[in-house]
A = this chain, B = another copy of it.
Amino acid sequence: MTSPPTPVSLRAKPGPGRLAVTGIGNALLDLIVRDHDNIHAQLNLTKGAMNLVDLEGAARIYAAMGPTMQVSGGSVANSIAGVASLGGTSGFIGKVGDDEFGKMFAHDLRSLGVDLDLALAVGEEGATGRCHVFVTDDAQRTMATYLGAANQLQVHDIREDLIARSEIIYIEGYLFDLPPAKEAIRRVVETAHEYDALVAVSLSDTFCVERHRRDFLDLVTNDVDVLLANEHEALALFQTETLEEAFRYVDEIGVLAVVTTGPRGASISTVHGVVSIPAADVDDVVDQNGAGDLFASGFLFGLALGADPVEAAQLGTLCAGEVISHLGARPESDLVQMATSAGLL
């Protein structure tokens, strides 16, 4: 076993024109229902997971849903919205369709002050992607995603500007579901290394890990500085029975890893071993949608500000606590005020 992972170098606050975090991921509109009647089960969707569907499947699912609420979404896009809500400069790279949903997606991030590099799908590349979200009474979320234009992100869509200006590049694991994924991700990682940005990656989803385990292991071992995962995803990646065993692999690889553990909070690898950070107190969990995404907002923004990983994880649990107290995966309360009150900003 090698020595414990080196902690992320302490950094000064991003200077003028610099971005704390730029994300690259799926640009999606969330179509949300409260699923009192477990319609997701009748549709054969795996509960608690993101199920990929084609256009036909999406039409069938949408027809079976009740009236929906629409909010801009996408896992890493949610994280980036959270960074902006924390007062951080941030950027997002993705692809939308040439339609009103795409304009809305862009508006929602832009109005938060996020710098955008959105490629526009043309012709057959399809419409803006969407994610049908079923929120069951136990506050779990089951998703059926039609990727549409988001699925068409190509290596030639990746431009240098936002990456060159960023402290941290945050890559969505779901990107591996794109057919030309490896090439595009390769370009992002190379550019990030060239400009001395940290590379962080989210494992996104257990099934996503299973679909692309070799590619993920290769990326995490060779190119990634920061790994974000939940417990199930971490076990799936390292094929271990316990989180302790998984963290032994993390040590060997020498990556900074943070694993969210639901109501228990998060665990993180540090020079002093694995440290647990408790979850925020939340009176009434309404919708777990976005908990991991917003944890990443606080954690990555904390790192970009030069906080140590444990402090950064505390900022992460604070953000996660806010987003699960209401419907939808984007923050509604004033995160700057909450974090300042808690002494974390």
Which A residues are within 8 Å of any B CB, using their own CB?
34, 36, 62-63, 65-72, 81, 99-101, 104, 107-109, 111-112, 127, 328, 330, 332, 334
When distances are taken between beta carbons in the complex, the residues of chain B under 8 Å from A62 are 107
On whether the beta carbons of A127 and B100 are closer than 8 Å, the reply is yes
Task: Report the separation of the CA atoms of residues A71 and B70 in the bound assembly, to the nearest whole angstrom.
Answer: 6
7 A-B contact pairs sorted by A residue (CB < 8 Å): A36-B334, A66-B112, A67-B107, A67-B109, A67-B330, A69-B328, A70-B71
A67 contacts which of B63, B66, B111, B127 (Cβ < 8 Å)?
B111
Do B104 and A66 touch (CB < 8 A)? no
Question: Once bound together, how far apart are the Cα atoms of A65 and B108, in whole Å?
Answer: 9
Task: State the Cβ distance, A28 to closest chain B Cβ, in Å.
Answer: 14
Contact residues in B for A127 (Cβ distance below 8 Å): 100
Can you name the residue of chain B whose Cβ is closest to the Cβ of A36? B334
Name the B residues within 8 Å of A109 (CB-CB).
67
Are A104 and B334 in contact, CB atoms less than 8 angstroms apart? Answer: no
* Residues of chain B contacted by A112 (CB below 8 angstroms): 66-67
Whether A108 lies near B68 (C-beta < 8 A) is: yes
Kindly report which residue of chain B lies nearest to residue A62, judged by CB atoms. B107
Known: A100-B100, A100-B127, A334-B36. A72 touches B67 (CB 8 A): yes
In the assembled complex, how far is the CB of residue A149 from the closest CB belonging to chain B, in whole angstroms? 13
State the Cβ distance, A92 to closest chain B Cβ, in Å.
Answer: 13
Note all chain B residues with C-beta closer than 8 A to A70. Answer: 69-71, 104
What chain B residues lie within 8 Å of A107 (beta carbons)? Answer: 62-63, 65, 67-68
Bound-state Cα–Cα, A99 to B108, Å: 20
